[in-house]
Amino acid sequence: GSGSGSSSNGGGGRADGASRRGDASGGDASLPSRVAVVTTAAIPWLTGTSVNAALRAAHLCRRCKDVQLVVPWLPVEEQGLVMRQRFETPAEQAAHIRSWVKEQLGYAPRNLRIKFYAGRYVHQFHSVLGVGDATRSVDPRTELVVLEEPEHLNWFHHGRPWLEAFGHGRVVGIIHTNYTEYARREPNGLGKCIGLHHYNRLMTGVYCDGVVRLSGAVQDFPRQATRNVNGVSARFLRIGRARGADALPGGAYIIAKMQWGKAYTELLDLVGRDRSFNIDVYGSGDDAQAIVERARDEGLPMRFFGAEAGQGRYDHADDALRKYRVFVNPSLSDVVCTATAEALAMGKFVVVAEHPSNEFFAGFKNCLTYSSPEEFSQQVARALASQPAPLSEREQHMLSWDAATDRFLEVAMGEFKGKAPGALESGLAAVHQGVTATKLVRNLAGGEAVAAQHAPENVQLVRVVEEYNGFGNFGAGNLRTWAQWLSTR
C-alpha cells in the first residue's frame, strides 16, 4: 500500500542512546527543532487520534529538540463520556498522559511538553470541538505544526489562522477520518456528503500548507500526499515477538467504537448471512444500545463486552483480547484502522475488506482480504482453522513508529516545501472566521456546547487552560488572552 516503505531520512538512526531518553541534541539540521502535534482527543480516551498523536509526538522527540503535544481539556462532567478516568485539573491529566507514554515506550521523553486547548464534547459529531483559539496553546516559535484531523480542528475554529500564526514555519495536516462517508450514511446523506466534501477542502486549503492522507480511502484535498504515517505502539510488537510461533487459542473478535459508521452495519449484515462462527465485540459508544438490540433481535451469534461502559474502555493489549486468533474488521469507512495494525503486530490474523484503507496491510502474510460476503466467510473459516505466521523483521519494521515517523518527516519536510497558500487562501480564512463566528450559524451546524463561545462555562474553560499553559510564557505576554478579547466583542 502507499507509504509501505521507510524513508532514507536519517532520523531513524537516533533511536537509541541519549535520544531514547528524549534528548535529541545534535540532530539532523534539516529537521525542525520545535514541533507541535495538535489533536482532537486525549489519552485516556483510547481512540485513534489520541493514541496516534501521542505516539507521533513521543517519537518525534527522538529527532527534534522540543515537541509539544496539544490536546483538548474537557469539563470534568464531560470527561466520563469518553474516558475511563476523570481529572480535576489539566496537570493531573498531563501526568497521566506522560505515564501512558512511558508505558508504551519504556521511557519518558524529557523534551515532550503537554499543552491543552479548551474543548467540549458534541454528541452530534460524536467527538470534541474546540472552544477559543487553539493557536494560543502552541509555542509561537514552533517550526512544524502537525494538525491531526485538520478539517475537524477547524470546522469551528475562531482565532488566528494557523498559517498566519506560524507563517515562519509550516503547518501540515494528517487526515485520519472519512467524515464524508459518515455523512453519506445519515438521513439526507448525499447532500451532507457533498457539502462536507467541499467544506473539508476549504478547511485544509486555508489553514494548512499541505495534508497527508493515511490512505486513498478518503476524499481528495488541495496540496495532498498519500502515505500511511501511523505506526503501532512497541508494546503490541513486543506481544507479537513474545508469542513467536506459539499457537493462539482461537476465536474471532472486533474492537471498535460502537457507532453504525464504524463497521457495525457491515459486520451485522455479514454475520447475518453466515451464522457458523461467533464474533465477540469489544467496545461502546453512542449507538451501542441500537447495535446490541439489532443483533439480539436477529439472533446473531455475537457477544458484547463493555457496551454499557464508557467509550474506549478496552485496551487492545488487555489480557482478555490477547487470546483471540482472528481480528475481524469489515469497515468501509476507515482511512487506516489502528486496531487492524495492532492485531497484526500481536501476531493475529486480520480479516478485512479489499478496500483502499487496507492497502498498507494487504501485503502482510496474516492479512486475509475479501471482496464478497461468501469470501468473508471463507477467510474467517480459514483463519479459525489455522495458525498465523510469526511476523517477519520487515513486517515489524513497517508497523513500527520509527518507520512511520521517517515516512512522515520525509513528506512533511519535503513534498510541501514552498507550497504555502497565498492571498486567496488568507481571504477565505477571514470569510470563514466571519461566517462561523455567530451563534446562529454554529447552532445550525450542530455545534451544541460550542455554539455560544461566550457562555460563562466556556470562558472559564479557556481560563483554566491558559492558566495551566502559562499563557505569556512563550514571549506573547503582550497579547490579550482569548477570554479578554471575547469580553470586548
User: pLDDT 10s digit of each residue in the chain, 489 long?
Assistant: 333 333 333 333 323 333 333 455 445 657 899 999 999 999 999 888 999 999 999 999 999 999 999 999 999 999 988 888 899 999 999 999 999 999 999 898 999 999 999 999 988 778 898 988 999 999 999 999 999 999 999 988 888 899 989 988 999 999 999 888 888 888 888 999 999 999 999 999 999 999 999 999 999 999 999 999 999 999 999 999 998 888 888 899 999 888 888 889 999 999 999 999 999 999 888 788 999 999 999 999 999 987 554 444 678 888 889 999 999 999 988 899 989 999 999 999 999 999 999 999 999 999 999 999 999 999 999 999 999 999 999 999 999 999 999 999 999 998 886 555 577 777 888 788 777 766 666 666 666 666 677 788 888 999 999 999 986 544 333 334 444 434 433
Three-class SS string for the chain? Answer: CCCCCCCCCHHHHHCCHHHHHCCCCCCCCCCCCEEEEECCCCCCCCCHHHHHHHHHHHHHCCCCCEEEEEEEECCHHHHCCCCCCCCCCHHHHHHHHHHHHHHHHCCCCCCEEEEEEEEEEEHHHCEEEECCCHHHHCCCCCCEEEEECHHHHHCCCCCCCHHHHCCCCEEEEEECECHHHHHHCCCCHHHHHHHHHHHHHHHHHHHCCEEEECCCCCCCCCCEEECCCCCECHHHHHHHHHHCCCCCCCCEEEECCCCHHHCHHHHHHHHHHCCCCCEEEECCCCCHHHHHHHHHHCCCCEEEECCCCCCCCCCCCCHHHHCCCEEEECCCCECCCHHHHHHHHCCCEEEEECCHHHCCCCCCCCEEEECCHHHHHHHHHHHHCCCCCCCCHHHHHHHEHHHHHHHHHHHHHHHCCCCCCCHHHHHHHHHHHHHCCCHHHHHHCCCHHHCCCCCHHHHHHHHHHHHHHCCCCCCCCCCCCHHHHHHCC
- Residue 387: the pLDDT is 95
Domain residues of the chain, as ranges? 10-231+407-487, 234-399
Q: Which CATH superfamily is domain 234-399 in?
A: Glycogen Phosphorylase B; (3.40.50.2000)
Rounded Cα distance between 330 and 356, Å, is 13
* Phi and psi angles of residue 387, each rounded to the nearest 5 degrees, phi first: -115, 140
End-to-end CA distance of the chain: 50
Residue owning grid cell 481529572: 87
Quick one: how far is CA 122 from the chain centroid?
A: 17
